[in-house]
């Protein structure tokens, strides 16, 4: 398969480029970068429209770059971006032109309509389906738990994305599991996105520029996970002047410094965050408690430098650690580190290239006991990743993207190191190594003024490599044979062809219908002994025992804008089927088990639903209303007597309402309301007596429902000036006692009686945060 697929992208590319249309006229290219005029920060997804040619325009790419090749003439070029004043330039196109377009930010959304006249109704005209973009500035007044703005919580308010639990940064995309989400920070995969036991994500909003989340049509340049891509891009830093932003909250404080390295050529940004709840523990007189710790910190750093009109380099990194320690009993320490080196190069004016070298590492350490009898469990995963991406803009009607990527994974499933008097023996599970590689090509083509398609193919392969032992198991999970493979020798190879096709048909100026088909493959799997994200969750590679997962998704939708684009609406319908999903055998032992692959079973799943979205971007009152009606089921031969059952994340109804109101330059208000059907859970249907104990009897998997979840959050921001503000948030404003978990126990007074107990995590929680910039 890999041999066959290697030439495929190249062949496709040649096929695409050969039938170049006969040109009656000379053409030239306008290219450049759209930037924030105040900071020099490149703007991602800004629209660049040519006023004279209806519906001709483009969007800037992830580096703010655009390229438009047009017949010789004079044009009015309008660049616009939400929250910024548009720029209008007149260009006499008699030669190739390269220039930057600088947009000034609007201090506050005053205008109801961005620009009248020519616009790109991106949501209607693009082929994107199930793709939502959020600019950080857009969501700044969304109320948040404990005053910590968190991008992973904000995206959970979008249709098709469901929270994995109260206060949890984990999420489900269109019925997919938590591990089916590809989370990229400056292109580096982040393997564990949670801080503080899942209540906060590792992403510091101050350092983030742009977020896009894809749950439907996943473009061919992304791969490796089944259900969604979250592409997070960090700020480049101010290349005009030195400045800073920061915040002081109840839970954590943060500080960001940025400035030019060389004015208008290079910039840096460094952003840090730390919690300080543990500082209060130090005040305790108890010598155990005052040595306890519970904190996290993280650091984002980035530098960029322009080497001329055609080259730019970026170096960015993330480092974060959580520490949770109770002296003499246990300690937990975990965190991610990522680093990305990127080089943008422009070949001529139409071919944009980016080369990335990416490092990503996740590790955790669990210490048990104290002193010489202490032992320590460590585990982790590390990636070395090289990536090459090209974007070719032959004409405004046509964009070709192609590239390749290779990741070398190192898995450290677990090791025990013990003190001299510890009774535990030292143990190191074999490291596993794998090479995951992919090549892709996609072509976005405006076939007719009303019809646009984006078709592409991703060819991916995964090889588990030695040194290592391949183990085989019988049906009961007992070891049958082992075979050792030397360094670099392939143990098992898988390959997949992943077509990605999307099309848009414009019904009129304001409305369109779209359809998409996406096939995705996933070679890494997360094993967890909990329904929430845990630092000790274990990533395992596909192997001779563990097959890769695949998904096929079909979606279609109707998109319509109202009132001069003030309101964007959409209805999307999807059906997704997933194969080789993983479940655990009953009583599976996932920790430090060399035979962990024998503890798994494989099944299938499917999800379908309809998602409605009404979004208002412009004006003092903005926000969105999302509603999802969906069904997600799974089927495993050895679960539930082989019958299909609702997945835990099967949520029939899911509603999110987000309203932000910029009342005046001084006062901003925000409110969110969420409602969803409770998780599908397994409760007992009877009792029996065994070994002198009353034991619950289960008849079906996930046959019951948790109570519905709903919650209102409010926030008020008072701006002292453009330089500082005070934010007051109220989480769970009407103090709904939402069920985090329901368990059963014997009644204390009458042990013969069993009762159900509901555990509620968060009551109404006020918080105050002071934010500033200089």
Partner 1 sequence: MNSTMLPQRWILPAAVILLTLGLGACQRVVSIDLNKADPHIVIEGVVTDGPGPYTVSITKTGSYFEPSLVFPTVSGATVVLRDNAGTIDTLREAAPGKYVSSRLSGVEGRTYQLSVVAEGKEYDGTSVMPQKIRIDSVYTTVLRAPDGDRGYNIFVKFKDPPTQENYYRVIVHTNMMPPDSITGQRYLLVSDKLLNGNEATYQIRASRNIDPGDTLTVALFSVDRATYEYYSTLRNILSFDRSPTALAPANPNTNLSNGSLGYFAALTADSVHIVLR
Binding segment (CB under 8 A) for partner 1, from list 15-23, 126-134, 428-436, 752-760: 752-760
Q: How far is the CB of 592 from partner 1 (least distance, A)?
A: 8
Query: Looking only at residues 418 through 437 of this chain, which bind partner 1 when binding is defined by CB under 8 A?
Result: 423-425, 427
Binding characters for partner 1, 127-166, by CB under 8 A (x = yes): --------------------------------------x-
Kindly state whether residue 734 participates in binding partner 1, applying the rule CB under 8 A.
Answer: no
Q: How far is the CB of 479 from partner 1 (least distance, A)?
A: 11
Kindly state whether residue 757 participates in binding partner 1, applying the rule CB under 8 A.
Answer: yes
Nearest residue to 136 (alpha-carbon basis) of 336, 271, 251: 271
Q: Provide DSSP, 278-299.
A: HHHHTT-SSTTGGG-EEEEEEE
Kindly state whether residue 487 participates in binding partner 1, applying the rule CB under 8 A.
Answer: no
The answer to whether the beta carbons of residues 441 and 13 sit under 8 Å apart is: yes
Q: What are phi and psi of 435, to 5 degrees?
A: -115, 120
* Distance in angstroms (rounded) separating the CA atoms of residues 371 and 515: 62
Tokens in use for 8?
Answer: 């495929």
Q: Using the 8-state DSSP alphabet, how is residue 16 labeled? A: H
* Distance in angstroms (rounded) separating the CA atoms of residues 744 and 756: 4
Kindly state whether residue 417 participates in binding partner 1, applying the rule CB under 8 A.
Answer: no
Kindly state whether residue 737 participates in binding partner 1, applying the rule CB under 8 A.
Answer: yes
Q: 288-300 b/e with 16+ CB inside 10 Å = b?
A: eeeebbbbbbbbb
Binding segment (CB under 8 A) for partner 1, from list 36-44, 216-224, 567-575, 746-754: 746-754
User: CA separation (Å) from 723 to 109, 243, 378, 665?
Assistant: 17, 11, 44, 12
* Distance in angstroms (rounded) separating the CA atoms of residues 479 and 401: 46
* Residue labelled with tokens 């050895």: 638
Query: Looking only at residues 575 through 594 of this chain, which bind partner 1 when binding is defined by CB under 8 A?
Result: 584, 586-587, 591-592
Nearest residue (CB) to partner 1, 131 versus 639: 639
Nearest residue (CB) to partner 1, 480 versus 757: 757
Q: How far is the CB of 146 from partner 1 (least distance, A)?
A: 8
Binding characters for partner 1, 612-651, by CB under 8 A (x = yes): ---------------------------x--------x---
Chain centroid offset of residue 325 CA: 29
Q: How far is the CB of 757 from partner 1 (least distance, A)?
A: 5
Helix (H, G, I), strand (E, B) or coil at 617: coil
Q: How far is the CB of 174 from partner 1 (least distance, A)?
A: 21
Tokens in use for 9?
Answer: 């992208």
Nearest residue (CB) to partner 1, 119 versus 648: 648
* Distance in angstroms (rounded) separating the CA atoms of residues 649 and 469: 35
Binding characters for partner 1, 503-542, by CB under 8 A (x = yes): --------------------------xxxx-xxx------
Nearest residue (CB) to partner 1, 323 versus 493: 323
Q: How far is the CB of 190 from partner 1 (least distance, A)?
A: 19
Binding characters for partner 1, 346-375, by CB under 8 A (x = yes): --------------------x-xx------
Residue from 37, 108, 197, 453 touching partner 1 (CB under 8 A): that is 197
Chain centroid offset of residue 130 CA: 13
Binders of partner 1: how many residues, by CB under 8 A? 78
Q: How far is the CB of 420 from partner 1 (least distance, A)?
A: 13
Query: Looking only at residues 314 through 333 of this chain, which bind partner 1 when binding is defined by CB under 8 A?
Result: 324, 329-330, 332
* Distance in angstroms (rounded) separating the CA atoms of residues 165 and 709: 10
Nearest residue (CB) to partner 1, 483 versus 746: 746
Give, for 153, the enclosing helix (H) or strand (E). helix 151-155
* Distance in angstroms (rounded) separating the CA atoms of residues 38 and 57: 25
Binding segment (CB under 8 A) for partner 1, from list 61-69, 255-263, 495-503, 733-741: 733-741
Count of Cβ atoms closer than 10 Å to residue 42 Cβ? 26
User: CA separation (Å) from 5 to 11, 14, 232, 439, 455?
Assistant: 10, 15, 30, 8, 17
* Distance in angstroms (rounded) separating the CA atoms of residues 432 and 420: 28
Q: How far is the CB of 587 from partner 1 (least distance, A)?
A: 4
Query: Looking only at residues 162 through 191 of this chain, which bind partner 1 when binding is defined by CB under 8 A?
Result: 165
Kindly state whether residue 276 participates in binding partner 1, applying the rule CB under 8 A.
Answer: no
User: CA separation (Å) from 736 to 20, 179, 669, 674, 763?
Assistant: 62, 30, 21, 12, 7
Nearest residue (CB) to partner 1, 41 versus 713: 713
Residue from 754, 770, 772, 773 touching partner 1 (CB under 8 A): that is 754
* Distance in angstroms (rounded) separating the CA atoms of residues 77 and 81: 14
Nearest residue (CB) to partner 1, 262 versus 737: 737
Binding segment (CB under 8 A) for partner 1, from list 133-141, 223-231, 264-272, 689-697: 689-697
Query: Looking only at residues 692 through 731 of this chain, which bind partner 1 when binding is defined by CB under 8 A?
Result: 692-699, 701-704, 707
Nearest residue to 538 (alpha-carbon basis) of 581, 596, 595, 472: 596
Kindly state whether residue 474 participates in binding partner 1, applying the rule CB under 8 A.
Answer: no
Residue from 117, 308, 420, 686 touching partner 1 (CB under 8 A): that is 686
* Distance in angstroms (rounded) separating the CA atoms of residues 193 and 203: 8
Bridge partners for 657 per DSSP: 625, 673
Query: Looking only at residues 387 through 416 of this chain, which bind partner 1 when binding is defined by CB under 8 A?
Result: 416
């Amino acid at each position: 398969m890999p041999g066959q697929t290697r030439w495929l992208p190249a062949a496709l590319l040649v096929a695409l480029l050969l039938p170049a249309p006969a040109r009656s006229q000379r053409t030239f290219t306008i290219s450049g970068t759209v930037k924030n005029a105040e900071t020099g920060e490149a703007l991602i997804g800004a629209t660049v429209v040519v006023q004279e040619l209806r519906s001709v325009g483009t969007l800037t790419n992830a580096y703010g770059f655009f390229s438009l090749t047009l017949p010789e003439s004079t044009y009015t070029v309008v660049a616009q971006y939400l929250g910024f004043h548009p720029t209008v330039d007149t260009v006499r196109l008699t030669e190739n032109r390269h220039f930057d377009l600088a947009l000034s930010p609007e201090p506050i959304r005053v205008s109801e309509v961005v620009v009248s006249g020519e616009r790109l109704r991106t949501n209607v005209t693009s082929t994107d389906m199930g793709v939502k973009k959020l600019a950080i500035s857009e969501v700044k007044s969304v109320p948040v738990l404990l005053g910590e703005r968190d991008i992973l919580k904000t995206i959970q308010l979008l249709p098709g994305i469901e929270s994995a639990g109260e206060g949890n940064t984990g999420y489900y995309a269109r019925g997919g599991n938590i591990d089916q989400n590809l989370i990229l920070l400056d292109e580096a995969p982040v393997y564990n996105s949670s801080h503080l036991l899942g209540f906060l994500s590792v992403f510091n909003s101050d350092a983030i520029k742009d977020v896009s989340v894809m749950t439907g049509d996943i473009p061919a340049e992304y791969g490796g996970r089944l259900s969604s891509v979250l592409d997070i891009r960090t700020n480049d830093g101010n290349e005009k002047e030195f400045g800073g932003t920061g915040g002081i909250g109840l839970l954590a404080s943060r500080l960001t410094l940025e400035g030019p390295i060389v004015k208008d050529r290079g910039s840096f940004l460094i952003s840090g965050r730390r919690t300080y709840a543990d500082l209060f523990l130090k005040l305790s007189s108890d010598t155990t408690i005052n040595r306890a710790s519970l904190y996290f910190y993280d650091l984002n750093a980035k530098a960029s430098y322009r080497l001329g009109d055609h080259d730019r380099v970026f170096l960015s990194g993330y480092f974060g650690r959580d520490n949770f320690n109770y002296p003499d009993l246990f300690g937990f320490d975990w965190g991610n580190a990522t680093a990305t080196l990127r080089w943008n190069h422009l070949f001529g004016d139409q071919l944009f290239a980016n080369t990335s070298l990416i490092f990503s590492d996740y590790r955790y350490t669990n210490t048990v006991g104290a002193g010489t009898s202490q032992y320590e469990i460590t585990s982790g995963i590390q990636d070395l990743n090289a990536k090459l991406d090209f974007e070719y803009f032959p004409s405004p009607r046509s964009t070709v993207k192609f590239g390749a990527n290779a990741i070398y994974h190192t898995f450290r499933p677990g090791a025990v190191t013990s003190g001299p008097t510890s009774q535990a023996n030292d143990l190191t599970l074999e490291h596993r190594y794998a090479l995951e590689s992919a090549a892709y090509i996609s072509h976005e083509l405006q076939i007719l003024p009303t019809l646009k398609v984006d078709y592409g193919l991703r060819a991916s392969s995964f090889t588990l490599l030695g040194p290592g032992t391949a183990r085989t198991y019988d049906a009961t999970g007992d070891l049958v044979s082992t075979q050792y493979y030397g360094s670099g020798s392939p143990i098992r190879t898988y390959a997949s062809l992943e077509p990605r096709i999307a099309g848009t048909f414009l019904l009129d100026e304001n409305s369109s219908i779209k359809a998409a088909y996406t096939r995705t493959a996933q070679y890494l799997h997360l094993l967890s002994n909990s329904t929430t994200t845990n630092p000790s969750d274990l990533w395992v590679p596909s192997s001779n025992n563990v097959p890769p997962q695949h998904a096929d998704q079909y979606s279609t939708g109707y998109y319509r804008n109202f009132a001069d684009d003030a309101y964007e609406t959409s209805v999307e319908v999807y059906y997704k089927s997933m194969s080789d999903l993983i479940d655990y055998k009953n009583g599976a032992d996932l920790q430090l088990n060399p035979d962990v692959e024998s503890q798994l079973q494989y099944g299938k799943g499917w999800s379908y639903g309809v998602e409605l979205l009404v979004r208002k971007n412009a004006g003092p009152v903005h926000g969105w209303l999302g509603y999802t009606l969906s069904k997600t089921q799974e089927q495993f031969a050895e679960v539930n007597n082989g019958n299909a059952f609702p997945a835990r994340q099967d949520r029939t109804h899911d509603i999110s309402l987000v309203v932000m109101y910029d009342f005046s330059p001084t006062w901003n208000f925000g409110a969110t309301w969420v409602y969803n059907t409770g998780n599908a859970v397994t409760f007992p249907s009877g009792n029996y007596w065994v070994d002198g104990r009353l034991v619950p009897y289960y008849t079906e998997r996930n046959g019951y429902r948790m109570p519905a979840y709903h919650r209102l959050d409010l926030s008020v921001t008072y701006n002292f000036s453009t330089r500082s503000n005070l934010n007051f948030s109220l989480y769970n404003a009407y103090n709904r006692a939402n069920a985090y978990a329901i368990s059963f126990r014997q009644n204390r007074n009458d042990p013969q009686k069993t009762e159900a107990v509901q555990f509620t995590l968060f009551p109404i929680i006020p918080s105050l945060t002071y934010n500033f910039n200089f």
